[in-house]
Amino acid sequence: MEAILIMVVAFVGYLVAYKLYGQFVGKKVFALSNANKTPSVTMEDGQDYVPTRRGIIFGHHFTSIAGTGPIVGPAIGVIWGWLPAMIWVLVGTIVMGAVHDFGALVMSLRNQGKSISEITSKYVNNRTRTIFFLIVLLELWIVIAIFGLIIAIIFNMYPQSVFPVWMEIPIAILLGYLIYKRGGNVGLFTFLAVFLMYVTVVLGHFLPLAMPTIAGIPATGVWSILLFIYAFIASTLPVTTLLQPRDYINAWQLFIAMALLIVGVIVSGIGGKLQVVAPAVRAMPEGAPPLWPMLFITIACGAISGFHSLVSSGTSAKQVKQESDALFVGYGSMVFEGALATIVIIAVVAGIGIAYTTADGALLTGTAAWTHHYANWAGAAGLGSKVAAFVVGGANMVASFGIPKAIAIIVMGVFVASFAGTTLDTATRIQRYVVQELAGDARIGFMQNRYAATAFAVITAAILAFATGASGAGAMKLWPVFGATNQCLAALALLAITLYLKQKGGLRYLVSGLPAAFMIVMTTWGLIYNEIGFIKTGNMLLSIVNAAVLLIALWIVAEGLGAFFGAKSLEARAEA
């Protein structure tokens, strides 16, 4: 019953927060008004700027920000105990993450759909904009490379998920064609698309597709190459052709998967099978860094994540039809992601205890199962380990009310791979926007072309992925700096939002200013902690990259504080 109580308390908290705090932030702080025309209307081009109905853009935005983030982060963060992880996810989502995502979206809506980096020049200065771009480029470079690897790992671990994940592409293209080109009924064709998607899930059970080694390239490397090719194609197509409809049906996949997981929590909880087997607090796990500040670095998506500011200002702002939709899309999506992170926490601190099979075939249950998986930091921190903890725990809960566990595992595997795929699509598209913006400033004409810019994004990510060999795991070399870099970006985005609100007058800037201060302290602390560790272990690559991120962050913070306290007139930079 403890797991059910955690879920109910969290879900009620998210709902109340959206209805009260979210509405306050939208109406009183940002003063949303449909009298303000959005970029999708004023700059419509049928390619990137496309006015989109609220439900569809919600699905696209949510699946883009979610990815595997709210799965991977919480699945590792619980090593310090379920209580710190749950508090951070609940409080972080409501007062930090949702404000961050929503604020970045509104700022972009009121600045021609530009990226958060581009907007920074308006509220700070051009110098800050340029160095902000450096962090964004680094972040997206790692994201594209690492998410290709995540999907490849999932395909390798769960070959039954391969067929349904790839079949989502023709289903999504057909859905987009029927809705946008033929004017079809959205509800009817959504139902048919989702139904077909789950038919492929069942077929995947009978059609496991294991990738062999090809020309000396292992399975993960082959999958990575295919995924990079896919990312190039998907990111150059008009957004309504594949990206939007695929994200939309993936959102429905999430709704269904979450419904199954919620029912699983209730049924297995009432039946006595589901017990929280992880400790509430575990301050010093073997080999793990300290809870403060690393919990706030490890759990990003599901609490607050800098990547979300790039999605809000990089893609979604170009598609939101009217300002009033921004609250549902920006604040609402983050709250929903917090709910997903909550279910993930329950799956990995309780669901895993129902049944867990070790590598040598032993079946463990209860505390023994959790302790075996989370024995030390090294074991819990691997990508495969994180995914497996959720897939096993989630499948155990879903299987509790009659769905065969083999099918439940495929559903969870497809769920994780599909969301990683939407993040790969979106990150590639955002990197293309960033490259085009920088090329425009530098007057490099050919790089402003969407094909050239996308090729740059994909090829550079591929170089990173294969830098250490044919497995495609090269991005793991930079993975240790990703968490702090991502959270640093969140802190800087909150700082930009605070500067935007400051020029509007009053104390409304405190809504983002206080979270910005917290995140600046935590990420600076985390970057310094990492730097000491990298130096001690003699890892020069990570030490140099981490130090560069730290210096850039401190520089932007200093410039931002100068602007905040009037070093340059905010009113002179901001729009009326």
Q: What is the set of domains in the chain, with CATH numbers?
A: 2-573 (1.20.1740.10)
Res. 574: pLDDT tops 70 = no
**Beta carbons of 330 and 98 less than 8 angstroms apart:** yes
Res. 495: pLDDT tops 60 = yes
Supply the DSSP symbol for 568: S
Residue 507 is which amino acid?
L
Q: What is the pLDDT of residues 89-125, one digit of tens each?
A: 999 999 999 999 999 999 999 999 988 888 888 888 7
Structure-block tokens of residue 112: 């021609």
- Of 288 and 290, the structure prediction assigns the larger pLDDT to 290
Residue 78: which of 312, 314, 343 has the closest Cα? 343
Res. 250: pLDDT tops 60 = yes
DSSP string of 147-182?
HHHHHHHHHHH-GGGHHHHHHHHHHHHHHHIIIIIS
Q: Quick check: bond before 293 cis, omega within 30?
A: yes
Supply the DSSP symbol for 320: B
Res. 378: pLDDT tops 90 = no
Show the CA angle centred on residue 220, arms to residues 376 and 226, nearest 5°: 140
Positive or negative, the CA dihedral 72, 74, 75, 78 is positive
- The predicted pLDDT at position 383 comes to 60
Left, alpha or beta for 184 (phi > 0: left; psi -120 to 50: alpha)?
Answer: beta
Confidence of residue 382 (pLDDT cuts 50, 70, 90): low
Residue 356 is which amino acid?
Y
How far is residue 395's CA from residue 412's CA, in Å, rounded to a whole number?
A: 7
Backbone angles phi, psi at 234, to 5 degrees: -60, -35
- How many helices (DSSP H) and strands (DSSP E) are in the chain? 26, 2
Q: What is the pLDDT of residues 42-78, one digit of tens each?
A: 999 888 898 988 988 998 888 888 877 788 889 889 9
SS3 1: coil
Percent of the chain with pLDDT over 90: 48
Q: What is the pLDDT of residues 448-463, one digit of tens each?
A: 898 999 999 999 999 9
Please give the helix or strand (H or E) that residue 404 lies within, else none: none
Residue 58, C-beta contacts closer than 8 angstroms, at least 6 positions apart: 251, 328, 329, 332, 333
How far is residue 576's CA from residue 199's CA, in Å, rounded to a whole number?
A: 53
